[in-house]
């Protein structure tokens, strides 16, 4: 039987394919543009027949019909590894549940601890060799599908073929059913234009980046905007080793800054695990021999990251306290995003010869009532710690960059207060005195 005969034999409608799901099953949707929207809708259509079906995903754009059509959560329970804006709203409504993790361990969880009865993933059309590519969800997809008892693929003609690497595709022989979705527009998340605050933050990081450095940009508006600013800088021959490839890298490539020619690991190849951005980004990644996708278990391994000399990791965060604890994923106990790979890259960049890790944030934020607050706090309180104080490296605001590595509590307090907005510094000094982490001789 040829691969095309096997494809036709396994071809089903979405409604036919989801008949294999049973009450109580664990179903996985993989990540971002791997979201199988047609299968999700078909599964939601079976809600009256099913009870207690648990679904996992992460960074899904939504809407999830299994949630929207089951508002009481009687039939389906959705769980996410990392919140998109849509998934955040579901958590706020009590209609989704967050699973704490770090991304390098995602495959380990599946291999050792989790049950997957049915895995569903959107993929590119099958090539002549019988392979479907995972596109921008490749970093997590293969491990999930390998653990699954049954596999259903939803073919989306819009998904790019991102080359490996490793784990970038699956063969038709490993698939139970295939459904066809035609051309379904992908989730696009283009870079916002850099603000003046972004430019000020970038100005404090640029002196630490040398020609030939390998750069990781985290998820979110600020790291992405910094990619745009790097593209407009005088830097050259930069490399890419990143969990998430975004439009910041496309801007760097178009400006001739991203060549990957001086990398110490995978020379000539920009390495990624996931990709979310504009249609132009997906077109650039499609069948690009200068790009190599790998599982996040490899991309995010600190020992692998450290093999990139002069590794520069740039991630966003939300808050920090005077002890150097970094919060990047919650507001109090409200889940905003997830740990993702921030801790992976902070660790790996610190281990890299000549490497540095930067966590960036604006010095203030404004709440829904219009009140301005300091992003640097006496202590995090109820906020979830993403990067512990023992691993904090550079923290950057528009007021400067402070290296916290090896610093005592009073040294950290002085450095962090210097990064706070001037309107909050005196108050922070008083709190530092109360917490006995302020020397009388410290600068005021």
Whether residues 230 and 203 fall in one domain:
yes
Number of domains in the chain: 2
Mean pLDDT of the chain: 95
Q: Inform me whether the pLDDT recorded for 443 exceeds 70.
A: no
Q: Residue 227 is part of which domain span?
A: 196-434
Q: CA separation (Å) from 86 to 72, 227, 259?
A: 18, 25, 35
Q: Does the annotation mark 243 as catalytic?
A: yes
> Quick one: angle between helices 221-231 and 247-254, nearest 10?
0
Comparing CA positions, the residue from 259, 359, 343, 336 lying closest to residue 296 is 343
Q: Give the domain CATH number at 25.
A: 3.40.1080.10
Residue 444 lies in a domain: no
**Polymer length of the chain:** 444
Q: Which residues lie across from 151 on neighbouring strands?
A: 119
Cα gap 187→200, rounded to integer Å: 30
**441: confidence class by pLDDT, cuts 50, 70, 90:** confident
Q: Supply 274's token pair.
A: 């996931």
Tell me: the pLDDT tens digits for 316-342?
999 999 999 999 999 888 999 999 999
Q: Which of 87, 154, 168, 243 is catalytic?
A: 243
Q: Inform me whether the pLDDT recorded for 193 exceeds 60.
A: yes
Whether residues 154 and 12 fall in one domain:
yes
Instruction: Output the DSSP codes for 250-264.
Output: HHHHHTT-B--TT-S
Whether residues 127 and 207 fall in one domain:
no
> Within 353-421, where are the H helices?
409-419
Cα gap 43→31, rounded to integer Å: 18
Residue 442 lies in a domain: no
Whether residues 136 and 204 fall in one domain:
no
Q: Supply 256's token pair.
A: 């001739």
Cα gap 328→317, rounded to integer Å: 4
**444: confidence class by pLDDT, cuts 50, 70, 90:** low
Domain boundary among 130, 154, 180: 180
Q: Inform me whether the pLDDT recorded for 133 exceeds 70.
A: yes
Domain boundary among 118, 153, 180: 180
Q: Are the CB atoms for 344 and 298 separated by under 8 Å?
A: no
Q: Supply 314's token pair.
A: 């740039």
Q: What's the pTM?
A: 0.96
DSSP 3-state of 26: strand
DSSP 3-state of 290: coil
């Amino acid at each position: 039987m040829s691969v095309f005969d096997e494809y036709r034999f396994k071809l089903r409608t979405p409604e036919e394919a989801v008949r294999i799901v049973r009450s109580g099953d664990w179903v996985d949707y993989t990540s971002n543009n791997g979201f199988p929207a047609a299968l999700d809708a078909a599964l939601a259509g079976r809600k009256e027949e099913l009870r207690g079906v648990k679904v996992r995903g992460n960074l899904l754009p939504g809407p999830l019909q299994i949630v929207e059509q089951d508002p009481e959560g009687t039939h389906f329970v959705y769980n996410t590894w990392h919140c998109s804006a849509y998934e955040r709203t579901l958590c706020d409504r009590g209609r989704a549940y967050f699973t704490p993790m770090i991304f390098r361990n995602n495959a380990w969880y599946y291999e050792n601890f989790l049950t997957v009865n049915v895995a569903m993933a959107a993929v590119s059309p099958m090539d002549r060799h019988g392979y479907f590519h995972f596109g921008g969800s490749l970093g997590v997809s293969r491990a999930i599908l390998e653990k699954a008892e049954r596999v259903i693929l939803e073919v989306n003609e819009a998904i790019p073929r991102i080359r490996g690497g490793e784990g970038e595709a699956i063969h038709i022989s490993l698939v139970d059913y295939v459904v066809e979705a035609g051309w379904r527009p992908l989730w696009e998340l283009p870079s916002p234009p850099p603000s003046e605050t972004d430019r000020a933050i970038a100005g404090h990081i640029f002196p630490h980046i040398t020609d030939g450095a390998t750069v990781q940009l985290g998820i979110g508006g600020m790291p992405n905007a910094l990619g745009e600013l790097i593209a407009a800088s005088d830097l050259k021959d930069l490399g890419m080793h990143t969990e998430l490839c975004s439009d910041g890298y496309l801007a760097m490539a178009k400006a001739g800054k991203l060549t990957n020619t001086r990398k110490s690991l995978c020379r000539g190849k920009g390495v990624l695990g996931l990709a979310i951005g504009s249609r132009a980004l997906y077109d650039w990644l499609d069948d690009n021999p200068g790009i190599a996708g790998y599982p996040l278990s490899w991309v995010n391994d600190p020992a692998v990251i450290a093999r990139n000399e002069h590794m520069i990791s740039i991630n966003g965060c939300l808050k920090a306290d005077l002890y150097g604890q970094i919060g990047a994923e919650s507001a109090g106990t409200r889940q905003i995003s997830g740990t993702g790979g921030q801790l992976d890259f902070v660790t790996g960049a610190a281990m890299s010869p000549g490497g540095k890790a930067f966590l960036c944030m604006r010095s203030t934020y404004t709440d829904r009532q219009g009140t301005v607050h300091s992003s640097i706090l006496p202590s995090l309180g109820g906020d979830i710690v993403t990067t512990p104080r023992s691993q904090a490296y550079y923290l950057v605001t528009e007021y400067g960059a402070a290296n916290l590595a090896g610093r005592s509590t009073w040294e950290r307090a002085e450095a962090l207060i210097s990064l706070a907005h001037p309107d909050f510094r005196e108050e922070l000094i008083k709190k530092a005195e109360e917490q006995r982490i302020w020397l009388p001789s410290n600068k005021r």
